[in-house]
A and B are shown apart, each in its own frame.
Chain A
């Protein structure tokens, strides 16, 4: 099988000498393309401010830049960066399931970029957890084994984050090998893909639901419309369409921004991919909505609907679950990818809303003085997101993520066609 290289931005060297590898790596560190772009001009100041705020945080304590209190110990950094960020990173396990387990080859062209996105999301958003830890120098404690808190859901989530990042790195590693021209490593790493995928999917099922299970002990603190023993199941199911909506949105942006990297064949296939994903989103959202309604009826919360929190709940369920679900169905029927993107954005807003409702907005909802994140918390969150996008762009511009693999890659492995 021959794969045409539509545009090779760099020579594909099989670097024989160690010295030239270093030279190659150093040359790759330098930025490519124009530096003064609108994106850079916006993101650089925000990242600098974020860095300053992080220094203040480690110098003066968490209270110096956040509005967290004794009553709301977890705020925006946990509720959005970690809990919501990980839900959006769910696309990686869903897509690897479709491509490597179900062998749905038509989605193969977007697997790498999705896994890269997932890996970076975990690295940065779960990494943002370090900022929120009061004593981050002890973060190693549950890993090195001098104190295994095995009864803790957070222990499970922490281990799974770590192991899943490793699994995603293995899944992505063939791209790194292709970038470095390491043929032998490529062969070994590619043969590990399926094991990493299966391990990764299992880890994902457990920690996506585990993030919800974290809040099971906060019974009585979370508004009853959002608290039920089914939070873990809800988090798990919603991570499927949260992740896929992210894939749809990120895919459409990448296809514009990095369009010169994508082969003509893959450009044409993209419509079909989005079309297929919209169907999966609609189906999983239906299951999710069904479960939500079931829990709502079972818990007999009718009286709560006619309260401000009740209207908020209805807005989430109707405005950001039911409506995007219908939009996904309509867009699937009409082959309308613009409508799919609208539905994906609405779905993502709904997932943000849901995660924040469980972790922040619905948490201690009766308190007279509510927690509202400070501008500095928002600023650090934005800085984290922008840094992730910078790294993402750096990798895309260098490794064969969106563009096709070099022709030698398909010869060394059968698994990665």
Chain B
């Protein structure tokens, strides 16, 4: 029995459909060519823990005012009502403060995870959330190595909250609220490339003050927020076990295999089907 017109057309159809759909599935977090992101450099030697940035952030994002009485002992986390917190740590060099918020990765896991492109890395650096696209699946929260996105669990129309590097404010101002208002110049806003240079200069000029590590230069493939510290970053509650390559890297292998599976498997299955179908016809004849 040869290949009949009908089955040939069927084969052609299945292969065509799979090719067409397979193309959609190609993995793509296209990294910008030589990205020129903006970012903020946090210097733990300069922060006095006044928490002014928390209040400025809340005001800029229309969020409730943070608690006033300074709760030194407690290590707080950002949540759906506050995009940034300043925590206090007792370290080998005394009491130090550290500001935490979304790190704005160069290749964000949340944006790669988002199936509606609601999470997006904009060309200037901020990772922003679009409520018109988000379906609230919270896969960004599962994927983010810093646990930055926060979800409004007690709302019928919940939003994802996190630092957006004041994307709205930046349309009229030239720096985010926290960096603009910091009285101790602990926060420096600028091009990420320049910030790294500046951080290197500070380490070079005062090698006995800083440890030789810019947190965020390589962590999770590099982030827009960069940190300088006089003590190892573990002592400031930072996760130092993160991988150096970007997190979307982890799913690339799987996503790249999809088109090949989509072409090879149906072909193989059709082949097996044709082969075994003939066997059965022969058996039936033998029986008779």
Binding site for B on A (CB under 8 A): 58-64, 66, 68-71, 73-74, 97, 100-103, 105, 129, 132-136, 138-139, 141-142, 146-156, 158-159, 163, 194-195, 197-199, 201-202, 205-206, 209-210, 213-221, 229, 232
Contacts and interface: CB of A to CB of B under 8 A. Distances in A.
A61 B156 contact: yes
Contacts of B145: 219-220
A70 B141 contact: yes
B201 interface: no
16 contacts: A60-B154, A60-B156, A61-B153, A70-B80, A70-B147, A73-B141, A74-B142, A103-B273, A103-B277, A134-B151, A150-B26, A153-B113, A156-B25, A198-B14, A219-B243, A220-B241
A237 to B, nearest CB: 15
A214 B158 contact: no
A322 B262 CA distance: 33
Contacts of A218: 142-143
B138 A154 contact: no
B184 interface: no
Q: Which of A146, A163, A194, A201 has the most CB of B within 10 A?
A: A194
A155 B111 CA distance: 12
Q: Is the contact region of chain A dominated by helix, strand, or loop, or is it mixed? A: helix
Interface in B215-248: 239, 241-243, 247-248
B115 A217 contact: no
Nearest to B250: A216
B100 interface: no
Given A216-B250, A217-B113, 20 more contacts: A70-B147, A74-B138, A101-B269, A102-B272, A103-B280, A133-B136, A134-B137, A134-B151, A141-B116, A147-B117, A149-B117, A150-B24, A150-B27, A153-B113, A153-B254, A154-B113, A202-B261, A210-B254, A216-B251, A218-B142
Interface of B: 10, 13-14, 17-18, 21, 24-29, 77, 79-80, 109, 111-118, 131-139, 141-143, 145, 147, 150-158, 239, 241-243, 247-248, 250-251, 253-255, 258, 261-262, 265-266, 269-270, 272-273, 276-277, 279-280
Contacts of A135: 131, 134-136, 157-158
Contacts of B273: 100-101, 103, 194, 198
A177 to B, nearest CB: 20
A307 to B, nearest CB: 17
Contacts of A195: 10, 13-14
B118 A147 contact: yes
A154 B157 CA distance: 22
Nearest to A103: B276
A153 B142 CA distance: 13
B282 to A, nearest CB: 12
Contacts of B255: 151, 153, 156, 213
Contacts of A59: 156
A102 B243 CA distance: 45
Given A62-B153, A232-B254, A102 B276 contact: yes
B150 A148 contact: no
A198 to B, nearest CB: 5
A63 B243 CA distance: 32
Contacts of B24: 148, 150, 159
Contact of B254 (A149, A155, A216): A216
A286 to B, nearest CB: 23
Nearest to B152: A61
A129 B153 CA distance: 16
Contacts of B152: 61, 134
Given A156-B25, A217-B143, A220-B145, A142 B116 contact: yes
B267 to A, nearest CB: 9
Given A61-B155, A148-B117, A199-B17, A154 B137 contact: yes
A97 B269 CA distance: 8
A217 B110 CA distance: 9
A134 B79 CA distance: 16
Contacts of A150: 24-28
A198 B270 contact: yes
A280 to B, nearest CB: 16
Given A101-B273, A194-B273, A217-B247, A154 B139 contact: yes
A221 B132 CA distance: 29
Nearest to B160: A134
A229 B243 CA distance: 14
B151 A149 contact: no
